[in-house]
Amino acid sequence: MEILFAAMEVLARWDVALALIAGSIGGVAIGAIPGVGPAVAIAILLPATFSMDPIVGLTVLLGIYGSSMYGGAIPAILINTPGTAVNALTTYDGYPMTLRGEARRALSLAYSSSFFGGVFSVVCLILLSPVLAKVAPMFGSREIFLAALLGVILVIVAHRGQMLIAAALTGFGIFLSTVGLEPVKYSRRFTFEQSWLASGVDLIVVVLGLFALSQAFVLLTMDDEKVHIAKSRGSLFQGFRELARHPRVAAVSAGFGVLMGMIPGVGEFTAQFMSYTSARKLSKTPQAFGRGSSEGLIASETANNAVPAAAMIPLLALGIPGEALTAMMLSVFYVHNVVPGPGLFQFQMDFVVALYLALLILNVLVVGFLLVSTGWLVYLTKIPNRFLGMCILLLSFVGVYSIRNSAVDCGVAAVFGLIGFVLKRLNLPIVPIVLGMVLGGIMEVKLRASMNRVKTPLDFIDRPIALLLFCVIVVVLGSTLWRVWREWTPVDRRSNAKKASVHFTKRIAGRKTRHFETRTKKQRRKRSYDHLGS
C-alpha cells in the first residue's frame, strides 16, 4: 500500500497530470491524421522530453503511444484510410458499417473495444508486477544477453517473407551501434579518422531520420486528395452495450494482445491477425467478416490496444525494447540515468507503479475525450498531405538540431531520412534498424561482462533461466528453418515430384509387362517349334 500511495503522489503533481492530459489528447489527434502516426510524433517530441523529469517525459510519450490507436480508428472507419498502420485491419469491417450508415455504431464499438483492451493489459501488467519483481533479479549478464539475442531473432522471424532483408537491416543497426568509442578500452571503431564520428551515431538522430523525415518525404511526394465523410446515425454510447454481448471475442483478443506485446519484435500486427482469425473461426456468422461484422471490429481494436502496456513488460523488467516506440522510450530512461531492468523493480517500484496507473488513467481520459469530441476530430482527416509534410520536415530538423546544436546531426538525419524513404517505397521494414542499434549495444555490453565468468561454452548456460532462453532460441531457429524449408519446397513441387516418381514406376512396370509379354511369346513360339520338330 505504501508503494501505491507513493505512486499516486507522483501522479498528483501538476506537471505529470498536465503531461498525461496533453499526451492523451495529442495522441488521439495525431492518430486521427492519416500519414503521421505515433512513431513520427514521438520522434519529434523525443528531444524535448530530455529536459523533463523522467516520469513527465515518459507520461507524454506513453500518452501518445497508447491513445494514437484510438484516434487512428476514426479515419479507418469513416474514409477507409487507417490513421496509423495498426488500424489497417479496422477498415475491413469499420468502413462497410459506414457505407450502411452505421458509422457512429462502428466508432462506438472501436472506442469501447480499445478501452477494454487497454484496461485489460494494464491489469495484467499490475498482476505480473510481483512476479517480475521476483524473477528480474535472477537475470544476470548472460541471461540479458540471451534475452537480447532472442529479441533480435524474433525481430527477424516476425518479418515473414522478408526475413533476409530484415536480418540484413538488423545487422546494419548492430553495426551502427559499434561506431565510435567502444565501451571498455575506449578505442575508436569505424570512425575513419572523422572526429564527428567519435561519439557514435546518435539513436535519436537515426530515429528522427528513419521515421519523421522519411514520412515527410512520402507526404510531400503524394497528391492531396479530397476527403468525403459520409453522414452517420446512432449513439456513441451503444458500443459498450454491444461489446458486452461478445465477451469471448473481447477476452481472447485482449489475451492475444498481451501475449504478443510481451514478446519482443512481434507487436500489434501479429496480435491483430491472430485475434481476427480466431474470432472468425469461433463466430457463428464467419461470412459476415469483412462486410461489417461487429465481432471483427472488436477483435482488431481490442488486440492492438492491448499491446502498448504489455510491451512495457520486457522494457521495464529487462531493459529490452520490443519495438521502435519502446526503443525510443528507452533513450529517455538512459538520459536521466534510470536504468530499466532488475534494479528498477527492487529500488524504484513506486516509479513503475506510477507508470502503470498513468496507463490506466490514460484510457479513461481518452474515452471520455472521444465521446464528446469525435465530431470535431473528423475534420483532422481533411488536412492536406503536403502541408503535413512541410510541418513534419520543419519540426524534425528543429528537434535534431536541439539535441546537440549540431548541423552535422541534421545532415546525418537527412541521410537516414532518404534511407527510410527508399525503404518505404520498396515496402521494406524500418524497425529492424532501430532495434538492431538498441539490442546490439545491450548484447555487446552484457557479453563482455559475462565472459569474465565463463570458462567453457557450457558455462554460459549453466543457470536455469539461461538454459531456458537458450532452449527457446534453439526451438525458434529450428521451427523457422523447418518452415522455410517447407515453403522452399512448395506443395506443387512436391506433388510434381510424386507424379514423376509414379510415372517412373509406371514406366518400369510397363517395361516389365512388355518384357513378360515378349518372353511369353518367345516361349510359345519355341513350344510350337518343338511340337513341329517332334
Domain extent, residue 531, equals: 496-534
Given this model, what pLDDT does residue 23 score?
86
Task: Identify the burial level of 348 via C-beta atoms within 10 angstroms of its C-beta, where 0-12 means exposed, 13-18 middle and 19 or more buried.
Answer: middle
Domain match, 534 and 406 both: no
Q: Which three cell numbers stand for residue 32?
A: 486521427
**Shortest CA distance to 74 belongs to which of 55, 56, 90, 92?**
90
- Which of these, 340, 505, 381, 315, lies nearest to 76 by C-alpha position? 381
Distance, in Å, from the CA atom of 373 to the CA atom of 365, rounded to the nearest integer, reads 12
Say whether 189 sits in a helix, a strand or coil: strand
Does residue 467 lie within any of the structural domains? no
Maximal C-alpha separation, the chain: 125
pLDDT at residue number 44: 78
Q: How far apart, in whole angstroms, are the C-alpha atoms of residue 367 and residue 109?
A: 12
Same domain assignment for residues 398 and 534? no
The residues, any chain, with a CB within 8 Å of residue 293's CB and separated by 6 or more, are 93, 283, 285
Q: Are residues 444 and 501 in the same domain?
A: no
> Contact, 127 vs 298, CB < 8 A?
no
* Same domain membership, residue 159 and residue 72: yes
Are 25 and 102 members of one domain? Answer: yes
Residue 345 forms part of a structural domain: yes
> 336: Cβ–Cβ under 8 A, 6 or more apart, which residues?
53, 54, 57
**Dist. CA 101–CA 368, nearest whole Å:** 24
Residue for cell digits 518367345? 522
What pLDDT shows up at residue 516?
41
Q: Residue 210: inside a domain, yes or no?
A: no
In the chain, the number of structural domains is 2
pLDDT digits 0-9 by tens, 91-148: 788 878 887 777 888 888 888 888 898 889 888 887 876 777 677 677 778 887 888 8
**Residue at 295 is within a domain:** yes
Tell me, yes or no, whether 468 lies in a domain: no
Residues 446 and 504 placed together within one structural domain of the fold = no
- Using CA atoms, how far apart are residues 150 and 147, in angstroms rounded to an integer? 5
Q: Which of 377, 266, 463 is nearest to 471 (CA)?
A: 463
Asked if residue 203 belongs to a domain, the reply is no
Q: 34 and 144, same structural domain?
A: yes
Which residue's entry shows cell 529490452? 320
- pLDDT recorded at residue 172: 92
20 and 163 within one domain? yes
Q: Give the bridge partners for 260, in sequence order.
A: none
* Integer Cα distance of 368 and 280 in angstroms: 30
Residues 503 and 424 in one domain: no
| Cα separation, 85 vs 199, whole angstroms | 34
The domain boundary, picked from 396, 427, 453, lies at 453
Final residue in a domain of this structure, among 453, 481, 513: 453
- Residue 461 inside a domain? The answer is no
Work out the end-to-end distance of the chain between its first and last CA atoms, rounded to an integer number of angstroms.
118
Whether 414 is covered by a domain: the verdict is: yes
Q: Distance between CA atoms of 82 and 35, rounded to whole angstroms?
A: 9
Q: What is the pLDDT of residue 496?
A: 53
Same domain, 72 and 163: yes
CA-based Rg of the chain, rounded to a whole angstrom?
29
Residues 6 or more apart whose CB falls under 8 angstroms from that of 117 comprise 250, 253, 254, 257, 301, 302, 303, 304, 305, 306
| Helix (H) / strand (E) containing 249 | helix 247-262
pLDDT 10s per residue in the chain (534 long)? 677 777 777 777 888 888 888 888 888 888 887 767 777 778 778 777 777 887 888 888 888 888 888 888 888 887 776 777 677 778 788 878 887 777 888 888 888 888 898 889 888 887 876 777 677 677 778 887 888 888 788 778 877 778 889 899 989 989 988 888 877 677 888 888 777 787 788 877 887 888 778 888 888 887 766 655 555 555 566 777 888 888 888 888 888 888 777 776 566 666 777 787 788 888 888 888 877 888 888 888 888 888 888 888 777 777 777 666 777 777 777 777 777 776 777 777 777 788 888 888 888 888 888 888 777 777 776 777 788 788 888 888 887 887 777 888 888 889 999 998 999 888 888 878 888 887 888 888 888 888 777 777 777 788 888 888 889 889 988 888 888 888 777 655 545 544 544 454 455 445 444 444 444 444 544 444 444 443
165 and 230 in a single domain? The answer is yes
Residue 189: phi and psi, rounded to 5, are: -130, 130
Neighbours of 455 (CB within 10 A): 8
pLDDT recorded at residue 266: 60
Q: Model pTM?
A: 0.71
* CA angle, residues 417, 423, 426, in degrees to nearest 5: 145
CB 285, CB 337: distance < 8 Å: no
Distance CA 312, CA 322 (A): 8
- Give SS3 for 116: helix
Same domain, 88 and 153: yes
